[in-house]
Amino acid sequence: MSYVRAALAVVAAFLLQTAVWPLTVGDGVTPDFLLATAAAVALLAGTGPAIGFGLVTGLLQDSFSGGLLGMNGFSKPLVVFLAARARERPPLDTRAGIPVLLVFAAAADLAILWALGEIAGFTTIPALELGTAGFGIPITVIYGLLVIRFLRSRPTEYRAP
């Protein structure tokens, strides 16, 4: 995995989440493209890079969300670290385990954000509404699979056409 590609994926996810998605779909459905990117890096690179990319993407999301600073900065490193650790254990260490871990990351992130919102006294967090979560999680997983495809290194005998 190339860290240059990972950085490009973070920039693309940030632009997609903050600029493209709200203009095309609206604010009602909020898949977490930054979480999907951090989870993809975690699943491919391991626990060390998982914490770093989770922290960067979480703080980046916090700085532009207008919410409580630090909620995503706490939840994303924790969730992607747990997903990277689970990836090291059978049966999740196979290719079939990747979508399961992406679903786990998306759902766990929403659960942690809900718990932090309850502790902080927020009455509602729009991304945590049931309909939004039901539509946002599958989009987050699909985007995560695309990012993994983008980040996965090519075999040495691979020749571009």
Which listed CATH number (1.10.10, 3.40.1710, 1.10.4030, 1.10.1760) goes with 3-151?
Answer: 1.10.1760
* Residue matched to tokens 């059978």: 90
* Environment class of 74 (CB within 10 Å of its CB; exposed 0-12, middle 13-18, buried 19+): middle
Tokens found for residue 157: 């005998």
pLDDT at 31: 81
Mean pLDDT of the chain: 82
pTM: 0.83
pLDDT digits (tens, 9 = 90+) for 56-80: 999 998 888 766 778 888 999 999 9
What's the average model confidence in pLDDT over 36-46?
91
Alpha carbons within 13 angstroms on the beta-carbon side of residue 137 total 19
Alpha-carbon gap, residue 36 to 16, rounded angstroms? 12
Residue 31 region, left (φ>0) first, then alpha (ψ -120 to 50), else beta? beta
Q: Are 144 and 152 in contact (CB under 8 A)?
A: no
